[in-house]
C-alpha cells in the first residue's frame, strides 16, 4: 500500500519475543524494542542518553517463528517495518491510540556482536512458500562449509590443497 510509513529502528529487545498463533493458525511473534539516542556532550566530555522510544513490534508467519527462535531479551537488533496506528478502549472505557510496527525485516546488530546465519528450508520458508532445498555442492550453503575458526585449526598445507587443487589454476574462472 502506498502512503504507509516505513521506518528502520535500531534498539534492544526489552523482553524475549513471544510466539502466538492466530485462530487460523498463522504464527506471530510479538516483541518490544527500546531505542535510545546517545549524544556527546562536549562541555561535560561524556556521552548522554536521550529519551527512549519503546516500540511494540509484530513479526508474522515464518519471520515470526525465526524471530522467536533466534532473538532474546537484551539483544541489539535492527528492525524495519511499517508503522500502524491502532485505537482501542481500555478497561476504564477511555479511548486509547497506539503506534506499532509491522515488521518486514529484522536481524541482530553486528556493531558489538557476531552472528551465525542458518538458512531455513521447506515448511519454514518465507511467507509460507516452499523454498528449494540447497544442493549439497552449493558453495554459498554456509550450513555445509566450515566456520573460519574451524578452518584456521587445519594445517596450512591441507587448507591450500582444498582451495587450490594439484592441477593448478587453468583457464576457466573458478565460478
Q: SS3 for the chain, per residue?
A: CCCCCEEEEEEEECCCCEEEECCCCCEEEEEEEEECCEEEECCCCEEEECCCEEEEEEEEHHHHHHHHHHCCCCCEEEEEEEEEEEEEECCCCCEEEEEEEEEEEEEECCCCCCCCCCCCCHHHCHHHCCCCCCCCCCCCCCCCCCCHHHHHHCCHHHHHHHHCCCCCCCCCCCC
Q: Look at residue 75 and tell me whether its pLDDT is greater than 60.
A: yes
Using the predicted structure, report yes or no on whether residue 89 has a pLDDT greater than 70.
yes
| Residues 93, 97, 103, 106, Cα dihedral to 10° | -100
Give the integer Cα–Cα distance in Å for 166 and 88. 70
Question: For a pLDDT cut of 70, what percent of the chain falls above it?
Answer: 68
pLDDT digits (tens, 9 = 90+) for 25-44: 999 999 999 999 999 999 99
The pLDDT score that the predictor gives to residue 130 is 36
Tell me, what's the pLDDT at 121? 79
Q: What pLDDT, on a 0 to 100 scale, did the predictor assign at position 62?
A: 96
In this prediction the pTM is 0.66
For residues 75-98, average pLDDT:
96
Q: Largest Cα–Cα distance in the chain?
A: 79
- Residues 111-159: tens digit of each pLDDT: 999 999 988 876 544 444 333 344 455 555 554 444 444 444 444 444 4
| Residue whose C-alpha cell reads 516505513 in the numeric block | 6
pLDDT at 78 over 80: yes
Nearest CA to 7 out of 35, 31, 26, 27 is that of 35
Amino acid at each position: 500500500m502506498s502512503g504507509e510509513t516505513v521506518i528502520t529502528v535500531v534498539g534492544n529487545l526489552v523482553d524475549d519475543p513471544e510466539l502466538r498463533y492466530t485462530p487460523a493458525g498463522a504464527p506471530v511473534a510479538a516483541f518490544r524494542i527500546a531505542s535510545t539516542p546517545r549524544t556527546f556532550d562536549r562541555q561535560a566530555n561524556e556521552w548522554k542518553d536521550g529519551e527512549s522510544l519503546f516500540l511494540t513490534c509484530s513479526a508474522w508467519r515464518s519471520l515470526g517463528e525465526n524471530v522467536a527462535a533466534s532473538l532474546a531479551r537484551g539483544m541489539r537488533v535492527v528492525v524495519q517495518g511499517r508503522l500502524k496506528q491502532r485505537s482501542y478502549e481500555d478497561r476504564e472505557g477511555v479511548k486509547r491510540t497506539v503506534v506499532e510496527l509491522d515488521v518486514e525485516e529484522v536481524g541482530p546488530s553486528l556493531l558489538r556482536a557476531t552472528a551465525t546465519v542458518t538458512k531455513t528450508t521447506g515448511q519454514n520458508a518465507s511467507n509460507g512458500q516452499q523454498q528449494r532445498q540447497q544442493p549439497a555442492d552449493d558453495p554459498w550453503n554456509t550450513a555445509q562449509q566450515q566456520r573460519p575458526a574451524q578452518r584456521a585449526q587445519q594445517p596450512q598445507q591441507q587448507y591450500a590443497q582444498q582451495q587450490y587443487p594439484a592441477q593448478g589454476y587453468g583457464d576457466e574462472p573458478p565460478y
